């Protein structure tokens, strides 16, 4: 499965709940990059140099990272990808990678949230945490970049009938329940005995 949603829609929170309830790993490309940079792996050093220069990590590097992670044992029976794919080239690569393993995507969870609501939520959080970089202008810019980059991908998955739209606004528990209900409608059921993580 994939999870997509604008910055501030609570994607990280819901991803950890989904992986707990469905017994699959949460694979966030951002987390993998950060872990590699922190551990100063050869890949991490490569990524750090690119990021420090203000450039985007190229598809080839990101694809390799995802391939390595999906080849690990815990991803054999399913996974939740967060932050990948981000481009149509990455969509094609993921299609080919999964086909080579005899796997396919079951669902693409899209957290939908009103932009003004998200801006208000993030502005409030920025004030509470004293984050000067989170001005309303900066937040709106990130939302626009997300929409521009993600729209083509959402169109592809929508045409394939994989898109599961879920209202991302409201209490965390309510959003989690909506996701479970929407996935159950597609025959994707939680792991027996799996519990909700403590928020």
User: Taking the model in full, what pTM does it have?
Assistant: 0.86
Long-range contact pairs involving 178-184 (C-beta distance under 8 Å, separation at least 24): 179/14, 179/17, 179/18, 179/109, 180/21, 182/109, 183/107, 183/109
Domain of 75, in residue numbers: 2-184
Asked if residue 193 has pLDDT above 70, the reply is: no
**In the chain, pLDDT over 70 holds for what percent of residues?**
95
- Residue 28: which residues within 8 A CB-CB, separation 6 or more? 12, 15, 82, 83
Catalytic residues: 11, 86, 125, 131, 142
Tens digits of per-residue pLDDT, 5-60? 988 888 989 999 999 999 999 999 888 888 888 999 888 899 888 888 877 788 89
Rounded (10°) angle between helices 136-159 and 115-129:
140
191 occurs within a structural domain: no
29 occurs within a structural domain: yes
Longest Cα–Cα distance in the chain: 48
Domain count, the chain: 1
> Cβ distance 27 to 75 under 8 Å?
yes
Query: To the nearest whole number, what is the mean pLDDT of the chain?
Result: 89
Tens digits of per-residue pLDDT, 103-149? 999 999 999 998 898 888 888 888 888 876 678 888 888 888 888 88
CATH of residue 174's domain is 3.40.50.300
């Amino acid at each position: 499965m994939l999870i997509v949603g604008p910055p501030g829609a609570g994607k990280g929170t819901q991803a950890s709940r989904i992986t707990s309830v469905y017994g699959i790993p949460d694979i966030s490309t951002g987390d993998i990059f950060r872990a590699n940079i922190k551990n100063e792996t050869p890949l991490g050093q490569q990524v750090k140099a690119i990021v420090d220069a203000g450039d985007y990590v190229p598809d080839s590097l990101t694809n390799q990272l995802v391939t390595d992670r999906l080849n690990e044992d815990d991803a054999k029976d399913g996974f939740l990808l967060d932050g990948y794919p981000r481009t149509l080239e990455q969509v094609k690569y993921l299609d080919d990678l999964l086909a080579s393993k005899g796997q396919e995507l079951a669902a693409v969870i899209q957290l939908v949230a009103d932009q003004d609501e998200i801006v208000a939520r993030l502005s409030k959080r920025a004030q509470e945490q004293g984050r000067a970089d989170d001005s309303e202008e900066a937040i709106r810019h990130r939302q626009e970049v997300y929409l521009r980059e993600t729209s083509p991908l959402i169109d592809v998955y929508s045409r394939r009938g994989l898109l599961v739209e879920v209202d991302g606004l409201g209490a965390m528990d309510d959003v989690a329940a909506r996701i479970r209900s929407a996935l159950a409608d597609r025959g994707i059921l939680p792991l027996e005995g799996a519990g909700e993580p403590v928020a």
